A and B are shown apart, each in its own frame.
Chain A
């Protein structure tokens, strides 16, 4: 059997996927992915790290949307590279928000992304959001540009609380403002130009450190409990 092994792109994608899988299994934990190789035709809005995440998932089987002041060049590039169809934000499987997109555009992306249905929650979109800086929470106090906000994440995958620091936080407020009923919701992947990456799945509760109110309390329906009336058992016996 002959195996095709000398394909650097294939192995880079595998390592990147394991990092992203690890990030989803440990929401709010800082992970690292390798950036896609430099490419002279890549549009300015897209950096190597964000492109790397996009290419992990986006292909001809799914749809995507780019939310940016000037999205056309990025969208055309991604269509050419991945053969995926470009769709409006509300209908896209993957919503790409370049780091340069302003707070209002990022808000639009997070608010409008598809939430899926109770029968098919997996149809909920994945928002791939570029940001200027992602770091460990200690970095927030150390200063530097741009300023960082500390985000706290709780829920499945998190033993107690995971913290990370990021320059943009509008996504957290908008995510809370969606009021999705679990299991509906969206996944958010934050990635900076260096390849630092954090995943926030819909199952996570998100809080901004220093703010009293939780901004991302996932609205869980009442827990499914055992029938509280054990007398049925008694009768049947």
Chain B
């Protein structure tokens, strides 16, 4: 039996619910608007929040791009793209500049986005205070009172232990001088791309039933201390093995036969686009004599999955998960009321 679907999968009432939340989210930058998250044909935690936003706003004139950790060809991205394309017939693209709607997990494209593009980010944990305070009612009150002691304490605790903040991704940001927001697990490298951006960013957490947004031209400031200023991942002296790009977010990979460590653009579309032109000869590519920017896109995409995730590939981020409230000597009850 053939199943009949409404355009963009959702019934119109579901779209209205998500659209109402989006409007409030844009009007209160950084505030997590609760919404009636729908059941989706993919599992919760696999991008249902981003997918719901995409389906609620997409239309016939849109060109869709979906990326997962910088890649257009990874399983999550491909399947979300397939579902949206099957239920809307919209055009899909890998080229960032051609897309009107970009759904992403864990990255903001290297190519700066324009005012006519909308970025949709998938969010696993929208609450930046969650590791500090497990109760939703309590974190809502902390946001109401702009009491961000917990967010500061978490960073402070990292500094005490490691002499630096060790957030590999999802470094908390202060939006419009009011709300502390989880920017989704984008690397710190991408945090600054939200500040005074040209484009609208919509963030969706399906499992946690929250939608929030960062309008264009809005202040987005990563939390830091005067003596421990915010720093992004650095790739000094490293460049992409394939295209030679510097000043981009690189994946650290290991050649299993030689044991050699090498680097590649994390953003695959950027790596194959004309935006990324090597300025100096690329040693590895020159040596093999086969791979240049703009060619061999498919083989490159395959090679990419042997790599590490953006978080773990951050060179200065130790692979530690810090949970302030989990410490036995840390008085949780007192901490949640700390000033």
**How many residues in A have their beta carbons less than 8 Å from beta carbons of B?**
53
Instruction: Report yes or no: A57 in contact with B223, Cβ–Cβ below 8 A.
Output: no
Stretch of A13-21, A103-111, A137-145, A168-176 at the chain-chain interface: A13-21
| Best-surrounded residue of A7, A14, A126 (most CB of chain B within 10 A) | A14
Chain B CB within 8 A of A121 CB: yes
Q: Tell me what chain B mostly uses at the interface: helix, strand, loop, or mixed.
A: mixed
Instruction: Report yes or no: B28 in contact with A122, Cβ–Cβ below 8 A.
Output: yes
Chain A CB within 8 A of B87 CB: yes
Given known contacts A2-B4, A4-B7, A224-B177, A230 and B26 CB-to-CB distance under 8 angstroms: no
Stretch of A66-74, A154-162, A207-215 at the chain-chain interface: A154-162
Partner of A157, one of B16, B31, B178, B216: B216
Instruction: Report yes or no: A183 in contact with B59, Cβ–Cβ below 8 A.
Output: no
Partner of A26, one of B57, B174, B216, B227: B216
Partner of B7, one of A11, A26, A60: A11
Instruction: Report yes or no: A5 in contact with B89, Cβ–Cβ below 8 A.
Output: yes
Per-residue B-contact encoding for A180-204, CB less than 8 Å = 1, 0 else: 0011000100000000000001110
Chain B CB within 8 A of A37 CB: no
The chain A residue sitting closest to B157, CB to CB, is A236
Partner of B156, one of A21, A60, A122, A233: A233
Instruction: Report yes or no: B160 in contact with A159, Cβ–Cβ below 8 A.
Output: no
The chain A residue sitting closest to B202, CB to CB, is A21
Instruction: Report yes or no: B7 in contact with A10, Cβ–Cβ below 8 A.
Output: yes
Partner of A119, one of B115, B144, B174, B223: B144
Cα–Cα distance between A7 and B12 once the two chains are bound (Å): 11
Chain B CB within 8 A of A226 CB: yes
Contact residues in B for A2 (Cβ distance below 8 Å) = 2-5
Instruction: Report yes or no: A122 in contact with B34, Cβ–Cβ below 8 A.
Output: yes
Cα–Cα distance between A25 and B174 once the two chains are bound (Å): 18
CB of B51, distance to nearest CB on chain A (Å): 16
The chain A residue sitting closest to B214, CB to CB, is A156
The chain B residue sitting closest to A14, CB to CB, is B59
Cα–Cα distance between A18 and B200 once the two chains are bound (Å): 12
CB of A110, distance to nearest CB on chain B (Å): 15
Chain A CB within 8 A of B17 CB: yes
Chain A CB within 8 A of B218 CB: yes
Contact residues in B for A233 (Cβ distance below 8 Å) = 156, 159-160, 225, 227-228
Contact residues in A for B16 (Cβ distance below 8 Å) = 56-57, 59, 61
CB interface residues, B 61-80, toward A, < 8 Å: 61
Contact residues in A for B215 (Cβ distance below 8 Å) = 24-26, 156-157, 203
Chain B CB within 8 A of A3 CB: yes
Chain B CB within 8 A of A227 CB: yes
Contact residues in A for B163 (Cβ distance below 8 Å) = 237
Chain B CB within 8 A of A1 CB: yes
Instruction: Report yes or no: B227 in contact with A230, Cβ–Cβ below 8 A.
Output: yes
Contact residues in A for B217 (Cβ distance below 8 Å) = 156-159
Contact residues in B for A26 (Cβ distance below 8 Å) = 115, 215-216
CB of B2, distance to nearest CB on chain A (Å): 5
Contact residues in A for B31 (Cβ distance below 8 Å) = 121-122, 183
CB of A30, distance to nearest CB on chain B (Å): 15
Cα–Cα distance between A182 and B30 once the two chains are bound (Å): 13
CB of B195, distance to nearest CB on chain A (Å): 12
Chain B CB within 8 A of A221 CB: yes
| Best-surrounded residue of B4, B140, B217 (most CB of chain A within 10 A) | B217
Given known contacts A1-B86, A1-B87, A122 and B174 CB-to-CB distance under 8 angstroms: no
CB of B129, distance to nearest CB on chain A (Å): 13
Cα–Cα distance between A117 and B28 once the two chains are bound (Å): 13
Partner of A21, one of B26, B28, B33, B178: B26
CB of B179, distance to nearest CB on chain A (Å): 8
Stretch of B145-153, B272-280, B327-335 at the chain-chain interface: B145-153
Per-residue A-contact encoding for B1-45, CB less than 8 Å = 1, 0 else: 011111110001101110111111011110101101000000000
Per-residue B-contact encoding for A72-85, CB less than 8 Å = 1, 0 else: 00000000000000
CB interface residues, B 200-243, toward A, < 8 Å: 200, 215-219, 223-228
Instruction: Report yes or no: A25 in contact with B177, Cβ–Cβ below 8 A.
Output: no
CB interface residues, B 245-297, toward A, < 8 Å: none
Cα–Cα distance between A153 and B3 once the two chains are bound (Å): 48
CB of B10, distance to nearest CB on chain A (Å): 10
What would 16 A/B residue contacts be, using CB atoms closer than 8 Å?
Answer: A3-B6, A4-B5, A5-B89, A11-B60, A14-B15, A25-B200, A25-B216, A61-B16, A118-B144, A122-B24, A126-B23, A157-B217, A223-B177, A224-B174, A226-B152, A230-B227
Given contacts A13-B15, A60-B13, 10 further A-B contacts (CB under 8 A): A4-B6, A14-B60, A21-B118, A21-B200, A57-B19, A119-B141, A121-B28, A156-B217, A159-B216, A187-B23
